[in-house]
Amino acid sequence: MPAVTFSIIESTTEATNSENAGEKPYPTQWTLNTDTTVQRTYYGTYSGTRFFNLADGGQVQNKTNLSNTALLAESKLSPAFTIDLESGEPQVLIMHTHTTESFEPYIRSSFDTSFNYRTTDSAYNVIAVGNAITEQLEAAGIAVIHDTTIHDYPSYNGSYERSAETVKAILAEYPTICVVLDVHRDTIQDGNTLL
């Protein structure tokens, strides 16, 4: 099997919408706010004409003009591509529209209101998740490009447009890519504010 030569690249594309483009560090200390409580919400099975169950588990909310029957039939089809393990060329692109999305340091019942859960530190944001996915895919012999361009800092606005330009450039350079994964994390919501 050919050696996998593509793993992590960094684009030179930079956001320039802010006068202060300095790094946004991950906290070294956490404030315990006992007046803030993390409320975990678990969702059950939905019913109604906009929802349908997948054959092997899971549920889809249909927000298209297609019928549930048509979407269910489509979900049972094999993908319209195959991964070529022999080519050595990149088959998967992993990228992050919201690159600075980060995580709680551990499971806890309250959260630090002074931290907005975004950091440019790649050890603590979704780049670390992309690195783990890259390792697993490469271990399976799949050539991967993991793009670590920060698209959402210093300006969150326009991050989808910036990430689309990054993806277009990589796909133009590597037409063998069959799958693009835009890895995000879920959010904490404080009232009407997403963190």
**Cα–Cα distance for residue pair 62/39, rounded to 1 Å:** 27
150 vs 29: which has the higher pLDDT? 150
How does pLDDT run across 117-126, given as a tens digit for each residue? 899 999 999 9
**Cα–Cα distance for residue pair 2/176, rounded to 1 Å:** 15
Helix (H) or strand (E) holding 147: strand 144-147
How does pLDDT run across 51-79, given as a tens digit for each residue? 999 988 889 999 999 999 999 999 999 88
How does pLDDT run across 143-176, given as a tens digit for each residue? 999 999 999 999 999 999 999 999 999 999 999 9
188 vs 3: which has the higher pLDDT? 188
Whole-structure pTM value: 0.74
Helix (H) or strand (E) holding 189: strand 189-190
**Cα–Cα distance for residue pair 136/16, rounded to 1 Å:** 34
Question: Residue 189: its pLDDT value, please?
Answer: 59
Q: Got the DSSP string for 45-100? A: ---STTEEE-TTS-EEE--SSS-HHHHHHHHTSPPS----SSS-S--EEEE-TTTT
**Cα–Cα distance for residue pair 113/101, rounded to 1 Å:** 15
Question: Residue 188: its pLDDT value, please?
Answer: 59
CA angle 26, 147, 123 (to 5 degrees): 25
Question: Residue 38: its pLDDT value, please?
Answer: 76
Question: Residue 12: its pLDDT value, please?
Answer: 36
Least confident of 7-21, 125-139, 159-173: 7-21
